Amino acid sequence: MKILGVSFFLTLLAFSGCSQAQEPPKQIVSFVSGTRIKLLPPANFTPATQFPGYQLESHNSSIMVTEIPAPFAETTAGFSNSSELSKRNMSVVDKQEVKVDGQNGLLLKVEQTAYGINILKWLLVLGDEKETAMITAAFPKMHDVELSEKMKASILTSTWDRKKDVPPAEGLNFTVEEKGELELSKRVSNSLMFTKNGIFPSKDVNDPLFIVAQSISKTAIPDNEEYARARVLQVSQVQDILIEQSTKIAIENLNGYEIVANGKDTKSGQPMLIYQVMLFAERNYFLMQGLVSNENRQADIATFQEMARTFKRK
């Protein structure tokens, strides 16, 4: 089964604010918590609380670091596909090859509409045939003159220490226990991936995948159940998705919805099961998704449910 990879994380790329102002720190080149990337943030940017990176609350602007266990060519291919970009309300304004810290990379300027706001993004993408690092500087278009060059300059200070050992849960606001054959295999941005015996990537469509993540941006959600149901339908590796049941659930003093859905693998057409729990906090949420073929449906649902109920906030 192909991991819910590049498309899953592109869906989450958004500008982000924090709930309260923080005293601006003295800016120095340092590692972004939970990553192997270090950079010099722009003046007045503070460490983010919901994703690896920095943010400027007053301007709804952010710099987010994402390390993706996928080849550079695969990760960047989508930026040449206008139809895929349009699905995410994105367009490439500028694209150029760069060399950063001795590594060849790609620097893109992208425009996107999200939550009714026009957003500009500088994306620095580094990588090889095994993995990719994406550093995204996002800001509302109204702040283009004030922030664009400063944020671009900041991400170009990035260095990637691939030998650095980073604890998987460093900087995350949650924990989840391994259950059954599902073991922690990868940390990507603010997400944890659990696969069969911790093997990544999974090679068999029948092997289960479980992902736990916190939302990146803060936003008001008018209808929690409607939002949760819509999120299930966004799983890009499954088509013809039908929701079987949606049930209220409470875990760790957070209310949410537990959803079971089915569909077909987009490549093989094999019947697939989607299990999802979305728990809502103030203006943000925690997402847990399990994906597997229907071969061992009942056993896999039981494992997903058991894992979801071990969720705890730090």
Q: What is the mean predicted confidence (pLDDT) over 271-287?
A: 94
Q: What is the mean pLDDT of residues 24-41?
A: 88
Per-residue pLDDT reduced to its tens digit, 257-274: 999 999 999 888 999 999
Q: What is the dihedral of CA 95, 101, 104, 109, to 10 degrees?
A: -10
Q: Residue 13's pLDDT is what?
A: 40
pLDDT grade for 309, boundaries at 50, 70 and 90: very high
Closest CA to 4 of 297, 301, 210: 210
Confidence of residue 20 (pLDDT cuts 50, 70, 90): very low
Q: So what's the pLDDT on residue 105?
A: 94
CATH architecture assignment, domain 6-160: 3-Layer(aba) Sandwich (3.40)
CATH superfamily of 174-313: Mog1/PsbP, alpha/beta/alpha sandwich (3.40.1000.10)
Range list of H helices, 139-209: 144-155
Strand partners, 132: 68, 127
Sequential DSSP letters for 99-124: EETTEEEEEEEEEEEETTEEEEEEEE
Residues 6+ apart with CB under 8 A from 290: 208, 209, 210, 211, 273, 274, 275, 276, 300, 301, 303, 304, 307
The answer on pLDDT for 200 being more than 90 is: no
CA distance 181 to 306: 12
Residue 214 predicted with pLDDT over 70? yes
Confidence of residue 22 (pLDDT cuts 50, 70, 90): very low
SS3 180: coil
Q: Are 57 and 82 in contact (CB under 8 A)?
A: no
Quote the percentage of the chain above a pLDDT of 90: 70
Euclidean distance between CA atoms 22 and 215, whole angstroms? 20
Q: Are 60 and 15 in contact (CB under 8 A)?
A: yes
Q: Give the pLDDT band of residue 24 (cuts 50, 70, 90).
A: low
Question: Is the bond leading into 201 cis (omega within 30 degrees of zero)?
Answer: yes
Cα–Cα distance, 158 to 29 (Å, whole number) = 9
Task: Give per-residue burial for 38-55: e unless 16+ CB within 10 Å, then b.
Answer: bbbbbebbbbbbbbbbbb
The 10s digit of each residue's pLDDT in 162-187 is 999 999 889 999 999 999 999 999 99
pTM of structure: 0.80
* Average model confidence (pLDDT) across the chain: 88
pLDDT range class, residue 19, cuts 50, 70, 90? very low
For residue 36, what pLDDT is reported? 96
How many other CB atoms are found less than 10 A from the CB of residue 69? 17
pLDDT at 175: 95
Task: Give the pLDDT band (50/70/90) at residue 10.
Answer: very low
CB 298 within 8 A of CB 284: no
Average pLDDT score over residue span 113-142: 93
Close Cβ partners of 118 (under 8 Å, ≥ 6 residues apart): 111, 112, 140, 141, 142
Q: Give the tens place of pLDDT for each residue, 228-238.
A: 999 999 998 89
What span, in angstroms and rounded, lies between the C-alpha atoms of 49 and 42? 17
Residues 62-93: tens digit of each pLDDT: 999 999 989 999 989 888 877 778 877 889 99
- How far is Cα of residue 189 from the mean position of the Cα atoms in its chain? 6
Are both 6-160 and 174-313 of the same fold?
Answer: yes
Q: Where are the domains of the chain?
A: 6-160, 174-313
pLDDT at 276: 98
Q: Regarding predicted confidence, which is higher, 167 or 9?
A: 167
Cα 241–chain centre separation: 21
